Amino acid sequence: MHIPDGFLSTPVWAALDVASLPAIGFIARRAESGLKESAAPLLGVMGAFVFAAQMINFPVGVGTSGHLVGSALLTFTVGPAAAVVVMTAILAVQALMFQDGGLLALGANVFNMAVAGVAAAYLPYRYLAGGSGSSRTLGVFLGGFASVVAASSLALAELRVSGVPMPMAVVGISAALFVVSALIEGAITVVVVRAIGRMNPEWVRKPQAESRSRAFIGLAAILLGAVGALFASELPDGLEKLAQKLGIESRSINVLASPMADYEWKWFTAGWAQKMAAALAGLLLTYILLKLLSRVFARGREH
């Protein structure tokens, strides 16, 4: 679902870059004032976990794969404002270090998955989380589902506004595959949120966790990134498949070269070592970046 450079017209990606920057700045201030001190360490751990989960593609049908986006999961664990910040950091690391999503199109990807994705996840959860256990579960599922539908719909709209010819038959198939991915997103989000709730019920209701819970999530992130990525599907994801169908995949350009493009650290020779090293490097970079941001938030609260 990461839009590469070359797919969007200059007015579209430039407008989204300009719009996303102040939006993220405003939301970051909200996160700074609203994030509890005990929840700050969660930013790095949850960011690393979502980064790792995004590396594991799974088949969704018709020669296409999908992966967890994580906007909803972050919303339900660190809160909506902080979730936007964490997702933005993940997308920035992916674009800068792994050429996953364009650098010029970063504003579009941030708007789609961080801003709109989090907002779409939060709305159904907000109205259902106060009910019974089944009502909260439904809210979590619908939040995960809505986050992917919102982000994918915006990506399709941005391509259309950029002048990409989009036959209805192709769009229909792509939309159906995105819906399948959204259903899987909702189901995975429910499973993970339930697991977190069993470890520490207060974490889900009031974003906070004991060190043992954070250590468990951190270990899960390392295992997902280092081991799970080795078994990820090689099939193109929904947007890549759409680009192939539309004949625009050749438009993709790389503004900034990286030794870890496509999540393979070329310094190593063996394929498994390239993937594992890139995954661990990405986890570490994401964790460090978000750890620094959490310290900035803490200093902001002090002042």
Is the predicted pLDDT of residue 140 greater than 90, yes or no?
yes
What's the pLDDT at 217?
85
List the one residue out of 134, 130, 84 whose CA is nearest residue 111: 84
Inter-axis angle of helices 42-54 and 80-98, to 10 degrees?
A: 50
289, part of any domain: yes
| Least confident segment among 63-67, 109-113, 179-183, 225-229 | 225-229
4, part of any domain: no
Strands of the chain, DSSP E: 58-61, 64-66
| pLDDT tens-place string over residues 24-40 | 988 988 887 766 555 66
78, part of any domain: yes
3, part of any domain: no
More confident residue, 62 or 122: 122
Tally of structural domains, the chain: 1
Cα–Cα distance measured from residue 48 to residue 223, given in angstroms and rounded to the nearest whole number: 11
List the one residue out of 92, 84, 96, 1 whose CA is nearest residue 43: 84
116 to 72, 88, 130, 215: CA distances (angstroms)? 11, 12, 23, 30
Is the predicted pLDDT of residue 160 greater than 90, yes or no?
yes
| C-alpha neighbours within 13 Å on the C-beta side of residue 268 | 16
What's the pLDDT at 208?
47
2, part of any domain: no
Place of tokens 């360490």: 41
Cα–Cα distance measured from residue 240 to residue 270, given in angstroms and rounded to the nearest whole number: 26
1, part of any domain: no
59: which strand partners?
65
Backbone angles phi, psi at 58, to 5 degrees: -130, 145
For 79, the domain range is 10-302
CATH number at residue 70: 1.10.1760.20
Give the Cβ contact number of residue 126 at 10 Å.
13
What percent of the chain has a predicted confidence (pLDDT) above 70? 90
DSSP H or E stretch at residue 283: helix 271-302
